[in-house]
Chain A
Amino acid sequence: MIGNWLDIGPVYQIEPGMARTLPVEGGEEIAVFHTMTGDFYALVNKCPHKQGPLSQGIVHGAVVACPLHNWNISLKTGEALGGDEGCVPTIPLKVDAGRIYLLRSAVLGEKPKPEAA
């Protein structure tokens, strides 16, 4: 089971209300978010609008405001909120015993298998 999940380190690496980045060689950089309510999410670090680095946006609730043009992106679904349209891929994430795990296949940008995660 553990083999499907990539351990990216302890939860306290990311201050609540902030995000940090995880570059993937040959793939898309990932932004890992820690919300003020203590939840963790991972998204491809690219706003669907103009590819702004979402990791640098202001986090409120389970939403990040893109630093370039203030689009609000849902951390749960990757979808643009409000009147805007677009969606950024999300990476399945779990927290176990104080460590953050990402679904390996999603990190590597593989198409999710039917029963993955």
Chain B
Amino acid sequence: MNAPVSFDQESARKAGRERLVVIGNGMAGCRAVEELLERDPDRYSVTIFGAEPRVNYNRIMLSPVLAGEKTFEEIVINGQDWYEDNAITLVSGDPVEHVDCANRSVISASGRVEPYDRLIFATGSDPFIIPVPGKDLPGVVTFRDLDDVDRMLCAAEKGGDAVVIGGGLLGLEAAHGLSLRGMNVTVIHLMPTLMERQLDEAAGWLLKEELERRGQTILISADTEAILEKDGHVAGVRLKDGREIPADIVVMAVGIRPNVALAKAAGMEVERGIVVDDHMVTSDPAVLAVGECVQHRGACYGLVAPLWEMCRALADGLTDRPSGYQGSVTSTKLKVSGIDLFSAGDFSGSDGSEDIVMRDAARGVYKRVVVQDSKVIGAVLYGDTADGNWYFDLLKKGEDISDIREALIFGQAYASGGALADPNAAVAALSDDAEICGCNGVSKGKVVACIDAGAHSVDAVRSTCKASASCGSCTNLVEGLLAITLGEDVESGPKTMCKCTSFTHSDVRRLILEKELKEIPQVMQELHWTTPDGCSSCRPALNYYLLCAWPGEYVDDQKSRFVNERLHANIQKDGTYSVVPRMWGGLTNPKELRAIADAAEKYQARTVKVTGGQRIDLFGIRKEDLPAIWADLNAAGMVSGHAYGKALRTVKTCVGSEWCRFGTQDSTGLGVKIERMTWGSWMPHKFKIAVSGCPRNCAEATIKDFGVVCVDSGYELHVGGNGGIKVRATDLLCKVETEEEALTTCAAFIQLYREEAHYLERTAPWVERVGLDYVKSRMFDEADAVAKLAARFRISQKYSQIDPWAQRAGGDRKDLHTHIGEVRPLQMEDVL
């Protein structure tokens, strides 16, 4: 414990002044005093108590100290001489333990009693420690002060494994520092997006990719169960899913809590923080509070900028020229060298608000500005944060941006550039040899020549001179050139996938393969999506395209699935569901029928109906009962019928040669074999198959997506039929002689449709769009095309023929079927 610094020679000068005591020698406490001295250096005699045995330093620069980019000396704000020059008494290493408001004095740990006229709480915040077993083990540290940094540096000297719990600002800075110091770092983050309070999904994904590229392991949606011990020291972390990660040091950086214990004990009004008014005065008029420990208008702040604003208001109040603190709009920058990240304001998006998004995949840039009522209300920038402060300024001032709306996203230089504020004017100003498309090396002159030669749409330009045909980031430039060159005559290109992108379905499918895009946020970034997280039409489409492109590798995204595919049942108009177990080829038996009957009674199915697809539909099942009814049906040997999916639905059959006097082949047997081969397959849209045993066609095979009509000499295979809104009879694809050939051709056709159709396009419109000849040429021009397509289908089936009902009945994704709680107002126990 250090002796208090005191200056007897000053005592005389200080006599007669009001006594101001500050609890906390951190950034807020000292800044408050600085502001005060600036306004009136002679009014108060100041005593500062600090728990740490050192002078005041810049806590937010601890990260660079950990990373070895700065030394402690470099982050000291006020050295010993500042206290001396301003006649401030610093009591360091001797924390205040008791505040006696009645007698207006504070008492320190060593028993020092200090009377005050005005008291300032600047006690800051404490790291939040998650209450898991092992949290107190040696080797578990927080990231709050210089001692924590020393402990981390000590561990880093020995090398080994570090685990950081918490992927927020502080956690990532700690991870970066430890990684630079040579440790093998794993970050465990509870939420699916890093820094989710500051970043949206798109920026969070970019950040994760970059950190992983730098060698850190990032585990998202990971919940810590326990910290493991060996020989009395921390040895690792176990997650709730059972994974164990070795650790020589564990840094707990999940958040901070205002340090209010002392104020609470002294009788101040305390909620989450010490409650203050606009002049930073607490419930006791002689006592003020400032910094992270306060709660102002319901808000607590953990960033540095609000603290400066609070200190100004506090000093104004203490020198009798009250100004009032109005609360802060905050912005965040991550202090990890080489990663540019900025976020400010409200970027959650709402009805009145509009997102302006710009993505530049080549430079790894994502910019999103949220505008409401012609004002900037939020911004997220990744990769290029040069304009962060400009956006933040527009946001704080609430400036009307309608005049620069078009150019806003390109940044200050562009938007303020007078004539250049019109993006087309900027394109017009480029010289003829300026490069428009970097991927294909196309100059402005070439694009214009190409437009003059008759390419009057983006698509036409892409197919002739290749500009914007690869990554697409110059699409807006090409559009600008079209507008300048043609005026009103620009042809709108083929329909884009949705309003979130300028690409068509086919473009997106092609680019997913070419660029090996494997996650939805990655597709959105690389293909310049103009919305942060897509919409209800592109998300399910992307999910399907990725599932089809990367079987076994892509993890199905439940939040991008329509309700029926997420709950594996069909939603009905009253919000209940219908359940259809699979009946292979339309065959069933007494055991299955009995189980269906029992289930219908047990789960109170209000309607039991035979479907057009030769199976039985149970209506009126509640979402909570689905796993249980599936378990019962599974027990009788039945699996999901996928009656709810953009998937193989059913294979309808007639009885065929086994019973029918006209039957030519075993149509039922072939139908069962086809259904066994194709069930569980996800498709662009629903897919129906039928097998008829003779040309009388009792199974109606010629209005199915794939129909087999048996004849004496073999099997006619038909495609592209539809019995829906617009009835379409099938086209004859080919005729084969054996069941084996029929099966392989069926698999090949399905795979071609899976790989090339647009999402939500049935086979009928697909075949009409591309033409039957195209389908035939893709399947039969090359001798082994059918075999190759069928092989790809079989690979994909390896991963999709897993009964989803059995998985859910076994407890998978329970959250989708259960309520979060129940409210029963009559009992006072509210949520059960």
Tell me the A residues contacting B by CB distance below 8 Å: 1, 6-9, 12-18, 20-27, 32, 35-39, 50-53, 56-63, 65, 67-68, 70, 72, 74, 76-77, 79, 81, 96-97, 104, 107-108
Contacts and interface: CB of A to CB of B under 8 A. Distances in A.
Interface stretch (B185-193, B317-325, B799-807): B185-193
Given A15-B221, A65-B536, 7 more contacts: A9-B821, A12-B190, A20-B815, A25-B824, A60-B534, A76-B350, A79-B351
Contacts of A56: 563, 566-567, 571, 575, 623
B573 A27 contact: no
30 contacts: A6-B823, A8-B821, A15-B559, A18-B558, A18-B559, A18-B815, A20-B820, A21-B820, A22-B820, A22-B821, A26-B826, A35-B348, A35-B349, A36-B533, A37-B196, A38-B193, A56-B571, A57-B563, A58-B540, A58-B562, A60-B535, A61-B532, A62-B349, A65-B536, A68-B571, A68-B573, A70-B536, A76-B351, A96-B272, A97-B272
Contact of B831 (A9, A35, A62, A81): A9
B563 A16 contact: no
A63 to B, nearest CB: 8
Interface in B781-832: 815, 818-826, 830-831
Contacts of B573: 50, 52, 68
- Interface of B, helix, strand, loop or mixed by DSSP: loop
Interface string B511-537: 000000000000000000001111110
Contacts of B540: 58
Given A38-B196, A77-B351, A13 B825 contact: no
Contact of A59 (B559, B822, B825, B831): B559
B200 to A, nearest CB: 5
A76 to B, nearest CB: 5
A66 to B, nearest CB: 9
A24 B823 contact: yes
- Interface of A, helix, strand, loop or mixed by DSSP: loop
A112 B190 CA distance: 35
A63 B823 CA distance: 25
B536 A22 contact: no
A19 to B, nearest CB: 9
B223 A21 contact: no
A27 B823 contact: yes
Contacts of A51: 574-575
Contacts of A62: 348-351
Interface string B252-272: 000001000000000000011
A110 to B, nearest CB: 10
Given A7-B831, A37-B201, A68-B571, A25 B531 contact: no
A74 B539 CA distance: 18
Contacts of A22: 819-823, 831
Q: Which 9 A-B pairs have the closest CB atoms?
A: A17-B559, A65-B536, A56-B563, A61-B349, A67-B563, A38-B196, A58-B536, A20-B820, A24-B823
A28 B821 CA distance: 14
Nearest to B819: A21
B391 interface: no
The residue among A8, A15, A51, A62 with the most chain B CB atoms within 10 A of its own CB is A15
Contacts of B351: 62-63, 74, 76-77, 79, 81
Contacts of A96: 272
Interface in B347-374: 347-351, 355
Contacts of B667: none
Contacts of B818: 20
A67 B350 contact: no
